[in-house]
Amino acid sequence: MSAILDRDLVLQTRRGEVQAYGQLVSRYQTMVFNTCYRLMSERRDAEDLAQEAFIRAYQRLETFDEDRPFGPWIRRIAANLCINQMHRSDPPTFDIDEERDRHTQSMPLNPEATIIGAENKERIWAAILDLPFHYRVVIELRHFLELSYAEISKVLGVPLSEVKSHLFRARRLLAERLSHEEIRQ
């Protein structure tokens, strides 16, 4: 439990105490950076966007309900920034044939390899960062921001069926990569 509640820091910031916001940044910067890193795949970009997320959050602090947790709110702002950034710089393109081919494949039935592989977290990080952006983003929104399928669909502006298929393919790709790594070792 933090010595000073997030709620109090938010209220102090609203009263003009900038140092209180500094404490919020210190408290959540690693979490926000990790959200950006998983989405952007580049440390430098992730740091810049995490910083931008805190600035945006400060500008919108009046809209934040201080009775809700600050962490999910700032992570959501960071995720939206990353999604917008990626869409601006690299509009999503989907190789339909590749997707169709892959859709017929099943999840590799090698859970032990995946679980053993989970001991080496760096490999899982690498596997996630290696995913295409449209797969990374559903992984982030589902696993780390804990959004429902319907919420993800709304955030990304894509049909629910697309959310389900992207999530399944993302997980399958991760399973494949982790299984292959395990076999190679």
Q: Which residues bind other proteins (CB under 8 A)?
A: 13-16, 18-19, 21-22, 25-26, 29-31, 33-34, 37, 43, 47, 50-51, 54-55, 58-65, 68, 73, 76, 106-112, 114-115, 117-118, 121, 124-125, 128, 139, 142-143, 148-149, 164-165, 167-168, 171-172, 174-175, 178
Please list, residue by residue across 141-179, b when 16 or more beta carbons sit within 10 angstroms of its beta carbon and e when fewer do: bbebbebeeeebbebbebeeebbebbbebbbbbbbbbbb
Write down the least CB distance from residue 93 to other proteins, Å.
23
Please identify, using beta-carbon distances, which residue of 93 and 181 lies nearer to other proteins: 181
Please identify, using beta-carbon distances, which residue of 37 and 156 lies nearer to other proteins: 37
Please identify, using beta-carbon distances, which residue of 93 and 174 lies nearer to other proteins: 174
Q: Which of 53, 57, 63, 66 is nearest to 7 (CA)?
A: 66
Query: How far, in Å, CA of 126 to CA of 181, rounded?
Result: 11
Q: Supply the DSSP symbol for 93.
A: -
Write down the least CB distance from residue 164 to other proteins, Å.
6
Write down the least CB distance from residue 21 to other proteins, Å.
7
The tokens describing 46, both together, are: 């992730």
Write down the least CB distance from residue 136 to other proteins, Å.
11
Please identify, using beta-carbon distances, which residue of 26 and 93 lies nearer to other proteins: 26
Which residue blocks in the chain are alpha helix, DSSP H?
A: 6-14, 18-40, 43-59, 70-89, 96-103, 111-118, 121-129, 133-139, 149-156, 160-184
Please identify, using beta-carbon distances, which residue of 86 and 114 lies nearer to other proteins: 114
